[in-house]
Structures are given as C-alpha cells and as structure tokens.
Amino acid sequence: MSPIPRRSLLKAAAAAGAAAQFSWALGAKNAQAAPRAEAADADPVTLDWLEDGGLGAAPGSTVGVPWPMGTYQEDQTFALTDANGKAVPVQSWPLAYWPDGSLKWTAHAVGAGSGKLTLTAGTPAAPDRKVTVDKSGGTIDISTGVITARIGKNGSTLIKSVTRGSTEIARDGRLVLIRQPEIEDEDQGAVRTERFDGTISEVTVEQDGPVRAVVRIDGKHRKGDRHWLPFSLRLYFYAGADSFRMVHTITYDGKQEPGKASGDFIRGLGVRFSVPMRDAAYDRHIRIGGEGTGLLREAVQGITGLRRDPGAAVQAAQYAGQKLPDPSTWDQRVTSRLQYIPHWGDYTLAQLSADGFTVRKRTRKGYGWIGAGGGRRASGFGYVGGVSGGLSFGLRDFWEKYPAQLDIRDAHTDEAEVTLWLWSPEAQPMDLRFYHDGMGQDTYAKQLEGLNITYEDYEPEFGTPYGIARTSELLFWANASTPSPETLAGQVEAVRTPPQLAAPPKQLIKAKVFGPGLYSEPDRSTPAKAKIEDHLDFLFTYYKDQVEQRRWYGFWDYGDFMHTYDTVRHQWRYDVGGYAWDNSELSPDLWLWYAYLRSGRSDLFRFAEALTRHTGEVDVYHLGKWAGLGTRHGVQHFGDSAKQQRIANTTYRRFYYFLTADERVGDLMHANVDSDETFLVLDPQRKVRTDPYTPDRHALSIGFGTDWSGLVSAWLTEWERKGPKWEKAKARVLSTMEGIAAQPNGFVQGSGLYDLDTGKFAVADKPVVSVSHLSAVFGLNELCAELIHLVDMPRFKEVYLDYCRYFNATKAEQAARYGSDFGTLLLFQGHSRLDAYAAVQSGDATLAKRAWTKFYSSDGYSESSPWKTQELSGPVTLVPGSEAAWVSSNDTALYGLAAIENLALLGDRMP
C-alpha cells in the first residue's frame, strides 16, 4: 500500500489566448499539463546491489524505479525474478506520477534475495512467510513470520516485546534522554543531570505487508510535567526476517543562550532494551564490535584462561558461543570451583572521537572497571544473550557521528539492559550555544561591515539551534541462539552498510527523470571527454579524502564538508565566518547526485546519502518561526542569520527519496509545501533593501531565483507524489510559472509580489533588470528543465531560455535586449550549462559554442588548473595528508554540474 493516498489528477487546463493576455484563474492559457504520452516500451529493468552481494543479514531493501511517461498506469502490478528466473516476493507502490497520470516512480520492497533481480510488469509472488499487522488490541503486533514485535500505542514503552517463536528475546524498548541543566566551563562545580523518557503521542501504521510493514511513532521526552525534544521514529519489518530496522529522528527544541552556563544541554541520548537472560552464566555471551568485523567475544562467566583447564573442547565451545556440556563432564577441579569465577555483567564501548574507542567491563554496579581493549573505529555493533537466544544491535555511522556509546548492563542477572547511545553520556554535554557575541554588530550597517571581513552574516539571536534535527539508523536482530562468528560478521556489515538495491543509470536516463537530457553515462571516447571525466573523478576523490584527513565527523557535522581553503594555514577556514561549513552552498548536492545518476557508483551514492541526511536535517529548521528555512554556510550549521529557501531546497532531497523511498526524507519534502508562509516572518533581503518594505500577505517580495526554486521544488514534488496537499501544490506550480512568464522581463525581472492566498505573482507595471549570479545556481536550471518537460507552457519556456541566453552574453547584447546590462556578474563557468541547455532547446549553434567557451575559458577551474594535490606533513599540518589549495567548494559544485550537463547536452559538439 502507498503511504500517500492516491487521487486522480486535475484535468489539464485549456489553452487559449495570447501569452500576454493571461486569464489569471489557475490553470489558464499555457498552464496545462503535457498530454498523455503514448505507451512507452516497457522493457524489464535489471536491479543490482550498490555493493557486492545481496541482503546478507539485513532484513530487506527498498528501491525506487523510474518509468518513461506513459509506460504504466496507476493500477499496474510488478513481479520480480532472480538470475535463475525464480520468482522473488516483492511489494510495490507508487512514489510519483507524470502529469498524464501514468507512473513516474514506483517503490519495490524485497525481504530476501541476492544477485541481480529483474523487475517486470506482472503478478507479484507472495512470500512464504508474510509480514502481518494486527492493530486490534492494546498494542500493534507485527510478525515477519520469524519474529513478532508488540508496539505500544501510548506510554513510554515503544516496543513492548520482541519474540522469536515462544521465546522473548527483548522487551521494554524505550528512549532515554539525559539533560544537564548547566555547563561548568571551569574546573569546579557539581554536575547535575536528570533523565527523561520518550513518551508516545501518536502511532501510525504506514504499511502493512505482505513484504514490508512500517510503523511510525511520534512523541516527546517527558519528566514530570515537562515534555520536550520531539522524536519521530519508524520501525521497518520485512517478510521472513529475524531483524528490524529503526530510523530515529530528534528535533532540538531546548534553550541554550550564548554567554550563559544554564540551559538544555543534552548529556546522553539513547535507545534502550531489556533482554531476558535464561541461561547459566557460562552459557551467556557478550559480543562487542571492534574495527571492521572484529569482535570482543566473551562469556558472562568465562572458563578460558583459568588456572585449571575444564577441557579444550569446552573452552572452544564457549568461545564459539555454543551450549556447553553439563559441568559434571568437565574437569572437576573447575566444576567444584565454579562459584569462585567472577560474573562480568557490565560492558561499555565508548567512541568519543572519530579516532579512538575503548572497551571496559566490570562485574556489576558499585565495583571497579577494568580495561578490555580498544582501537580506532568501532563498528557500533553488539550482542547480549545466551544459547537460548539473544539480541544483536547496531548503530549505523557509529564512529562517524561520535560521540557514541554501547552499554550492556546486568548481564549476570535475569534481565540485561542494552543502551545504544546516539550521544554518549561520557562525552561533554551537547553544547549548541552560538560561538561569539557579535562584537558590536547591533545594526544592519555594522552587520554588513562584519560580512565584509569575516563573510559571516551575523544578527543577534539568529544563531539558534532551536528547530534543527538529526536522524540516526539502527538495526536489531532477535537470534534463536548466540550467532556464529560468521553470522555476527554479516550483521556487522549490515549495520555499517545497509544493502541497497538500485536501478541502473540507463533506466534513469531513459525515464527522463531529474531533468531530461542533463546527464548521460560517463564517456571517455575522446581525449577531451576523458580529461573532463578525470577531473570529475579527481574532485570527488579529493573531497572524500579531505573528509578523512580533516576529520569532518561528529553527530551534527557528519555528511557536510567545508566551503573555502586557507592557503596560509594549510587548513580549511573552519573558524572564519561564512567560509566554514558549506551547507549546500551552490548545490554540491546536485553535483554529487548527478554524478551518481550517470555512473551508478556506490561510493558516490554513500557520500551523497550522508550529505542529504545532514543538510536536510541539521541545516534546516523544522520547528519554530523559521520552520521550512535553511541556514547559509558558516562556522556553525545554524549560526548564520541568512535563513533562506535556498538551503531548505526540496530539490536536494528528491534524489534520495525517489531512489530509496525513504519516508523520513519524504516527511521533509512534504513539510516544505507551505514554506511560502515564512516570507511573512522573515524577509531574506532585509539587510540590503534601499526602499521601504514590510511583508504583506498579499504582496510578498519573492525572488525568481533562490526563493522560487526552493518553493516550486516542494510544490512540484507534492504534486507528483499526490501528497495530501497536491492540488494546492499543483496550482502553485502552474500559477507561479504563469506569473514569471507574464512579467515584462520574465526571469530577468528578478522578483515579483506574491499573494499567499491566491498563489499568484502580480504582473509588474514596468520592466526591471535584476539579475544575480546566485539566482540559477541553487537548482533553478535543473528544475526548469523538469518543468519545461512536464508542463506545456510555451511562454515560460521562452522567458527561461531568454535568461539562459543572456546571462553569459556581452553587456552590449544584454543592453540591446533589455535596455540595460546585467551589471557585474560571476560564476560564468557554472552558467555555461544554461548556455548548453538553451542551445539544445533552441537549436542555436552559437550558444553551443559559447557553452564550451565559458566552460573552458572563464572563471572556475580550467585546463591550466593544477589538477593534482600537494603532500602535507611535518609542522605545517596537524596530520599528514594532502592539499589542493586551488580547490573551493563553490567552484567544485559548479564545475561538476557544468561538466556533467555540458557533456550530456553538447558532448558531440565539443571544440
């Protein structure tokens, strides 16, 4: 079943009248959807795994597959087969529709399988063991055919129990929050903490099988009368699986003020289960994941290494996790003294940095800890249980999103306790206070002066974390007995890299999704093409290596990278205003996702996945007056006072959603549908306006570049998903396209007055020339290419192609067309892709030539750029590594997009 209700599309609007004589009812002239396409060639699609293998120990995988317009209608069913032609059970549902009502994207969930799979139209095979959901009682009971989870509908116990057959493996799944009300910056003071428990406010079954079931749980953390730190988590169950997946999101709504030691500081944030312990102490096992698939393998009561030997076979069996023979069969010198062998009930693995973890254990609370080992980067995996069953558990991106921790407590008693700490209580409290006091920047004039020196757009009280979020992924297995080392290694790998099915680049290109014609498969058929491909590979490899060298890791930071390099310090400008974290500036998200779409490379997918998870959560507000807005690049992800649509841009999220059907990213995109309301709260141009302006509900100033591209991407996505507000979203897509098309200067007009109630732009009385180098570099070209493909509106296409034609034109050409030139502009290399797009759409050979000229011989990177790194070591750098001092993230994003799009559009017309 689809998580979004299916509805029929509105009828296409009639086309009549001249472009300059729009009837301003929604769906008027030039606002109709493209006509229904003829049924396309419905070839089978071969799906493959991003990494080698298949599901392995993971519970299942879900993949999004695009279809050319007209291929399949909404009621189409799908079948899946393996390489041998054997039917593989699959659950399918629509993700998006073309304007003609045919399927654009479909999602497909599998609960078993390895190797390549073939997807065709047909009747799906039913799984031998279906996922079933029973909502009739006081709990929601979900069975995979192997395990059953009872999910609470209220209270603080989210998962009442997890059973396998008749054996209860885990119980009392709950969320734990430790708040520290005060930070002591000096070396004196008493640390006080208080514990909050996650409390359910709403539970929703989003899918109910037969292959995949999804349950969403929302609530807040509570202690007494206080409810705060909202959470939203989803539980995923697949047919035949002995495990389930959890996607856990928190949104920060506490208070931390710069200069003050008191506030809502998170000391610990975790997910906790109780695990019944039924076996003899010597048959209870602990497994802690170390580096790679390495494991600490111990028993609660260990019988290896003793002064007296119980027998080699007995020791080997305990180390293997097997049930031991009756102690009466052991060497009696051991059996008679079993009561003297300690029981180790508590274990902790703490990863407090990206480069080090420690493991320690103790017999029980109140007794001393002893070191049990350590290393650099732990897998985030553990197991506790015995020969009659136990719980495996894992936290993805464990060391990358440090400080993290795994705790096992009371394994020597009848009930052990497991906690996966997303924020380790042994780390410093989560300090999100703004990092400086503004240094006298109490007016817009002074703030602009500050911008001129540190490139930071400062404004008092704007550097707040209130409303930012973070999502984590966890896996749990209900094991019938202590797993073998090989099984445990498979579970570790599933935690570290969840298996992901993927459609091939050929299908994405054929379906014409994400901008028809804007990307093509890598081509090294000529030296010129090969050189650009080498440059693209160099840039991606460099950033991947810089993440490691510069340690761009941490709970709030992982997934992002830095903006600009400091050539003197041989360091990225991590501490200099707006030069620090990139926050999606100039669309690196698009560069990475288009690089993946054309290549199918798993390393590109994983890098882009981490960026999408980060920017969609951390760099955007999800609560409060700025909900729906993102924050410009800066020293802290939330610190800059420029809160704008361009960072919250749904365009950056669409790729991951449609490729994986990830519900959390779907939430983020739906939340943006009403973000036009934020223009009432905050004027993005407030510091630089020269004319008086007060936000007016019926006349909001909205730019046609960075503002509108963010808004229309959310509306378009809601429309094609047929989300709850799709009719409103469709109307706004069409009406705002009409409004831009009707302006005297189209896109060159720069902005328009927008009515929140009607969703229309007023038509300006006179032409204005207002062009910014930023307008088209936050996804505008890619969005307009999609819109022109989807919506038959000739005037809109005309004004957009005009913008593309004249941005890189000479000042004389601009003035001849518009009455004045565009002023001083930048980023010509990045805008060469606009030339390329317009050249193909118009058949203009002169534009095609100019596209390559601007790509090779303007700003940005060129053939004369070094295209190599310099080694760093010794006293000039913190750790040995390399630098490419000529690389900046702005230029990288624009070069990457221009290279990919120019090759696809004009690769046959390279100089």
Q: What per-residue confidence (pLDDT) applies to 900?
A: 98
User: Who contacts 812 (Cβ-Cβ below 8 Å, separation ≥6)?
Assistant: 821
If you average pLDDT over every residue of the chain, what do you get?
94
Q: What per-residue confidence (pLDDT) applies to 20?
A: 29
Does the structure show a pLDDT above 70 at 7? no
Q: What per-residue confidence (pLDDT) applies to 8?
A: 32
C-alpha–C-alpha distance, residues 156 and 426, integer Å: 24
Return the number of other C-beta atoms located less than 10 Å from residue 114's C-beta: 15
C-alpha–C-alpha distance, residues 633 and 578, integer Å: 5
Q: With contact defined as beta carbons under 8 Å apart, do 64 and 106 qualify?
A: yes
Q: With contact defined as beta carbons under 8 Å apart, do 254 and 623 qualify?
A: no
For residue 707, what are its two tokens?
A: 């503002």
Q: What per-residue confidence (pLDDT) applies to 474?
A: 98
Q: What per-residue confidence (pLDDT) applies to 17?
A: 30
Does the structure show a pLDDT above 50 at 26? no
C-alpha–C-alpha distance, residues 543 and 801, integer Å: 33
Q: What per-residue confidence (pLDDT) applies to 10?
A: 28
Over residues 111-140, the pLDDT tens digits come to 987 899 999 999 999 999 999 999 999 999
For residue 239, what are its two tokens?
A: 């047919």
Q: What per-residue confidence (pLDDT) applies to 53?
A: 78
Over residues 517-563, the pLDDT tens digits come to 999 999 999 999 999 999 999 999 999 999 999 999 999 999 999 99
C-alpha–C-alpha distance, residues 135 and 375, integer Å: 45
Q: With contact defined as beta carbons under 8 Å apart, do 705 and 649 qualify?
A: no
For residue 310, what are its two tokens?
A: 């119980």
| pTM, to two decimals | 0.95
Q: Which of 803, 796, 799, 708 is nearest to 759 (CA)?
A: 708
- Mean pLDDT value across residues 395-403: 98
For the purposes of burial, counting CB atoms within 10 Å of the CB of 38, is it exposed (0-12), middle (13-18) or buried (19 or more)? exposed
For residue 891, what are its two tokens?
A: 């230029």
Return the number of other C-beta atoms located less than 10 Å from residue 135's C-beta: 14
Q: What per-residue confidence (pLDDT) applies to 41?
A: 61
Residue with tokens 């609560």: 623
Q: Which of 699, 706, 714, 715 is nearest to 684 (CA)?
A: 706
Q: Which of 831, 815, 848, 813 is nearest to 772 (CA)?
A: 831
User: Who contacts 648 (Cβ-Cβ below 8 Å, separation ≥6)?
Assistant: 619, 620, 621, 628, 629, 630, 672, 675, 710
C-alpha–C-alpha distance, residues 482 and 763, integer Å: 71
The DSSP annotation for 184-214 comes to --SS------EEEEEEEEEEEEEEE-SSEEE
C-alpha–C-alpha distance, residues 361 and 409, integer Å: 10
Higher pLDDT, 894 or 911: 894
Q: Which of 834, 829, 832, 848 is nearest to 892 (CA)?
A: 829
Q: Which of 284, 202, 217, 281 is nearest to 250 (CA)?
A: 217
Percent of the chain surpassing pLDDT 90:
93
Question: Between helices 845-857 and 828-842, what is the axis angle to 10°?
Answer: 160
Does the structure show a pLDDT above 80 at 846? yes
Higher pLDDT, 113 or 726: 726
Q: With contact defined as beta carbons under 8 Å apart, do 129 and 146 qualify?
A: yes
Residue with tokens 């019988």: 303
- Mean pLDDT value across residues 364-389: 98
Q: What sign does the CA torsion over 223, 224, 227, 228 have?
A: negative
In SS3 terms, 439-499 reads as CCCCCHHHHHHHHHHHCCCCCCCCCCCCCCEEEEEEEEEEECCCCCHHHHHHHHHHHHCCC
Over residues 131-173, the pLDDT tens digits come to 999 999 999 999 999 999 999 999 999 999 999 999 999 999 9
Question: Around 601, how many Cα atoms within 13 Å sit in the side-chain half-sphere?
Answer: 16
The type of residue at 769 is: V
In Å, how far from its chain's centre is CA 551?
19
Does the structure show a pLDDT above 60 at 360? yes
Q: How confident is the model at residue 193 (pLDDT cuts 50, 70, 90)?
A: very high
C-alpha–C-alpha distance, residues 719 and 673, integer Å: 10
Does the structure show a pLDDT above 90 at 744? yes
- Mean pLDDT value across residues 579-596: 98
